[in-house]
């Protein structure tokens, strides 16, 4: 039985099988390059995954929501009114959905009623693959479809980001929600986060695969060092703006940054801004390399990205460094880096198809030997974005 059948069966068991029951899917995402650039006015290059969150849902006649998550069955059925929502930073799965309903109402889209919903994930939580954004976009498309809201999928992404910022207390950028909402099968999304202009770039990987390795170290970002990094960049930008007319760190290229970095008074903020500027330029170069079929250049930029995230932005961890280091020296690996917010989670690697088996074996064994932990390995497929599937 597939996940869609499982959620429909559980829905009928909990809430009955009558009425208009609809099914939905919202993917997680992996970011190939362009980390911590999305709230700095830079570019990102993610793709939606074939892993994510599935749901069955049906409208109610009152203002209640009743939700059950098969991934966390011990939570039981969560029931609340959609008219009495207050922001919090609990970080519980249903808070990310309640936050979207809150955001919709804040933006003028008052839901006429609540709904019943059962959901299940095949995306590991806390892995840096945007489980929270997947949950947000799942809620957004359910509300959009069930209640006929006149909103676009870009709106769904923006409402998801707004809810995570304002309801959940996590000052994330737009990348995760945008990738989940706007993904396209066999493509990555080259997004300018300053303008929301985007381009679908075919993943012309003729003899290569995208491999995600989960360190199985869960990250917790809300109320953490993630928000500190954002503040560092905002303060660095203000210092730069005193000497140069720029709106974001993403407006600067490498040469321009070197000319003005002396305006930043704190060495830590210099490193943070250095990463934001150089990572943005790496992302632009990496997309050009992919379009030109230069996978060697793409892989080199991935490695430089990880080193910058480790040293300048300081969002890696021992386990992610081990995975990246082992990948760099494994035959058939073109490039590897941590992906996501950091402090745990996953690496993403480009691996030649003929080397997949040896890559998985080598990484698993060496990671266990060096960290004492067991990793999980997935072959990633770029998928379509969130929407109704039945």
357 annotated active-site: no
Is 265 buried (19+), middle (13-18) or exposed (0-12) by CB count in 10 A? exposed
Q: What are phi and psi of 84, to 5 degrees?
A: -135, 60
The one catalytic residue among 38, 95, 176, 312? 176
| Crossing angle of the two packed helices 93-106 and 153-166, in degrees rounded to 10 | 110
CA–CA gap between residue 214 and residue 348 (Å, rounded): 9
- Give Cα separations from 169 to 86, 99, 134, 164, 259 (angstroms): 12, 10, 17, 6, 35
- Residue owning tokens 């790496």: 282
Torsion angle of the four alpha carbons 194, 196, 201, 205, in this order, in degrees rounded to the nearest 10: 60
- Give Cα separations from 330 to 112, 135, 306, 349, 376 (angstroms): 56, 35, 16, 11, 17
CA–CA gap between residue 59 and residue 64 (Å, rounded): 10
Is 118 buried (19+), middle (13-18) or exposed (0-12) by CB count in 10 A? buried
Angle at CA of residue 36, ends 34 and 40, nearest 5°: 100
CA–CA gap between residue 343 and residue 96 (Å, rounded): 21
> Could you give the residue ranges of the DSSP H alpha helices within the chain?
3-15, 93-106, 131-146, 153-166, 175-182, 225-241, 254-260, 267-291, 295-311, 318-328, 356-371
Beta carbons within 10 angstroms of residue 167's beta carbon: 23
Give 154-202 as a DSSP string: HHHHHHHHHHHHHTS-----SHHHHHHHH--TTEEEEEETTTTEEEEEE
The catalytic site residues sit at 176
């Amino acid at each position: 039985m597939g996940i869609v059948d499982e959620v429909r069966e559980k829905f009928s068991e909990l809430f009955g099988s009558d009425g208009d029951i609809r099914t939905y899917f919202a993917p997680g995402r992996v970011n190939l390059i362009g980390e911590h650039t999305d709230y700095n006015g830079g570019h990102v290059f993610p793709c939606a995954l074939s892993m994510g969150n599935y749901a069955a849902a049906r409208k109610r006649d009152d203002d209640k929501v009743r939700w059950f998550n098969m991934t966390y069955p011990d939570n039981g059925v969560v029931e609340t009114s959609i008219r009495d929502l207050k922001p919090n930073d609990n970080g519980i799965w249903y808070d990310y959905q309640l936050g979207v309903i809150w955001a919709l109402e804040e933006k003028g889209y008052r839901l006429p009623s609540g709904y019943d919903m059962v959901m299940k994930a095949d995306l590991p939580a806390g892995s840096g693959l945007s489980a929270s954004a997947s949950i947000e976009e799942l809620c957004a498309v359910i509300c959009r479809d069930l209640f006929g809201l006149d909103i676009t999928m870009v709106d769904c992404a923006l409402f998801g980001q707004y809810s995570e910022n304002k309801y959940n207390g996590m000052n994330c950028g737009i990348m995760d929600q945008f990738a989940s909402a706007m993904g396209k099968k066999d493509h990555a999304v080259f997004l300018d986060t300053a303008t929301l202009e985007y381009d679908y770039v075919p993943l012309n990987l003729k003899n290569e695969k995208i491999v995600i390795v989960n360190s199985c170290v869960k990250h917790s970002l809300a109320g953490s060092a993630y928000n500190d990094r954002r503040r560092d960049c905002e303060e660095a930008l203000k210092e730069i703006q005193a000497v140069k007319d720029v709106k974001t760190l993403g407006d600067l290229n490498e040469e321009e940054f070197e000319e003005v970095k002396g305006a930043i008074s704190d060495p830590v903020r210099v490193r943070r801004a250095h990463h934001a500027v150089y990572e943005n330029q790496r992302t632009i170069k990496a997309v050009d390399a992919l379009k030109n079929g230069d996978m060697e250049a793409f892989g080199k930029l991935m490695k430089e990205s990880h080193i910058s995230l480790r040293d300048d932005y300081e969002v890696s961890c021992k386990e992610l460094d081990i995975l990246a280091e082992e990948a760099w020296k494994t035959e058939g690996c073109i490039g590897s880096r941590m992906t996501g917010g950091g402090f745990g989670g996953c690496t993403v690697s480009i691996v030649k198809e003929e080397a997949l088996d040896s890559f998985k074996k080598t990484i698993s064994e060496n990671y266990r030997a060096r960290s004492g932990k067991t990793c999980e390995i997935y072959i990633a497929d770029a998928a379509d974005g969130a929407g109704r599937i039945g």
